Chains A and B, each alone.
Chain A
């Protein structure tokens, strides 16, 4: 028996889940289980209580209302990947998800689980950072919203209290005709990315860039927005020189170092992959093309 002994709870509603998590000591929340189950199997975590969110059907949905897209926390990654609504309104998520693990893990893995696990190299947090998403958290005193920029509190630690659960994430989709790309480097398909880049480009007047959003995975504890690169592009014609100049702003970012890659290599990848992501986003119909 690999996992340690725990008491198992499978609430059917968000209220029940919040009541459990705010009253039980040393409890872990189980969403898709594609990160927590390995940690249980290896006994890296030893919870006294496991609160399984998979029976809460209210947390599994993708909807658009008032021009804003909301995705429930326990929505499977595979369902997001295949959603017609998101394919139309936010192709970036599908592009990011195609590089998350494998179909076998995306069938179980959830968007909320990926956000809360907050692996530094994870694709979904980077994509949601580029989208300026808002995380909706539910606790014993009601709901509160956390901007994606404030969501990572520390290495692999989201800004969620021990008695709260993540309910949903929402964002304003970019207008039709925007370009998007998610580009990453990993040693094999499905491996953790060493560096990943989410890019969004909105065309402006006269062939210029109206708005750009770029977020990096794999360089810091949480997703890193490249404000300098975004500013370099806005209002400019997106030719190869402008893209190069924007990408080069990543050359001196602070990048982490671990057994997989030194920080110098991560900075190199940040520049190169940002350039590739911008070219790919620009090559999309409606987004314009490099002159």
Chain B
């Protein structure tokens, strides 16, 4: 702890990240993305522009996508965070989005991938059967400089089908 009246100040926060509970001290000015990477070792969340434009640091906060660079870690106190590390099953089986990205060559360098995957988890949860135009619009908040997006669009559409089939299979 720093002394009273001195900066930087710290606070104790409790975060649940991919189902694991963490009690940590963070500087109040630390962004959620920096906290995930530096305090918790979740380096799958990438930092590109650090001002909310590129989308690489997108994580799910209580199920909603958010820029990890535009939130303070103290603001996530008590929240459930999902990062790209939390998408695969505990047994290591990839999420249908991850499988589809692999098969459709929807990544090259991979820097943008984590933010796209987390964004698309939310998008397909809300819109399980999107059109290609809807997928393209949904991807507009994430910048990829390698792929030209064609493979990403195909992968998201394919994953939507896989998720519908999976969810249909377990529906009553």
Q: Are B7 and A107 in contact (CB under 8 A)?
A: no
- CA A189 to CA B67, docked complex, whole Å: 17
Instruction: Report how far A34 CA is from B66 CA in the complex, Å.
Output: 10
Q: Are A108 and B66 in contact (CB under 8 A)?
A: yes
Contact A102 B9 (CB under 8 A): no
Q: How many A-B residue pairs have CB under 8 A?
A: 94
Residues of B within 8 A of A108 (CB): 66-67, 70-71
A54 to B66, CA, bound (A): 15
CA distance A52 to B29 in the complex (A): 12
* A104-B67 contact, Cβ under 8 Å, with A5-B8, A37-B52, A190-B140: yes
Contacts of A52 in B (CB 8 A): 72, 74-75
Q: Which residue of A lies closest to B10 (CB)?
A: A8
| Category for how many chain A residues contact B | 20 to 34
Shortest distance in angstroms between B163's beta carbon and chain A's nearest beta carbon? 18
Is B27 part of the binding interface, using a Cβ–Cβ cutoff of 8 Å?
yes
A6 within 8 A of B: yes
Interface range on chain B (Cβ under 8 Å from partner): 20 to 34
Verify A104–B140 contact, CB threshold 8 A: no
- Residue A291 at the chain B interface, CB threshold 8 Å: no
Contact yes or no, B67 A1, CB < 8 A: no
User: Which residues in window 77-128 of A have CB below 8 A to B?
Assistant: 78, 101-105, 107-108
Q: Which residues of A contact B69 (CB under 8 A)?
A: 2, 37, 41
- A52 and B72 alpha carbons, distance in the complex (Å): 10
Q: A42-B51, A104-B58 are in contact. Are A7 and B7 (CB under 8 A)?
A: yes
The 0/1 profile, CB within 8 Å of A marked 1, for residues 49-63 of chain B is: 011100100100100
Q: Which residues of A contact B30 (CB under 8 A)?
A: 1
Interface string of A1-44 (1 = CB under 8 A from B): 11111111010000000000000000000000110011011100
Residues of A within 8 A of B64 (CB): 78, 107
Which A residues are CB-close (under 8 A) to B67? Answer: 34, 37, 104-105, 108
Closest beta carbon of chain B to A42's beta carbon, Å: 6
Query: When each residue 229-248 of chain A gets 1 if its CB lies under 8 Å from chain B and 0 otherwise, what string results?
Result: 00000000000000000000
Residues of B within 8 A of A33 (CB): 70-72, 75
A38 and B51 contact, CB distance less than 8 A = yes
Contacts A3-B29, A5-B7, A37-B52; A102 near B72 (Cβ below 8 A) = no
Within 8 A of A (CB), among B13-63: 27-31, 34, 50-52, 55, 58, 61
Partner of B29, one of A4, A34, A188: A4
Cβ A107 vs Cβ B71 within 8 A? no
Residue positions of B touching A, CB distance < 8 A:
7-9, 11, 27-31, 34, 50-52, 55, 58, 61, 64-67, 69-72, 74-75, 119, 122-123, 137-138, 140-141
- Please list the residues of chain A having a beta carbon within 8 angstroms of any beta carbon in chain B: 1-8, 10, 33-34, 37-38, 40-42, 50, 52, 54, 78, 101-105, 107-108, 188-190
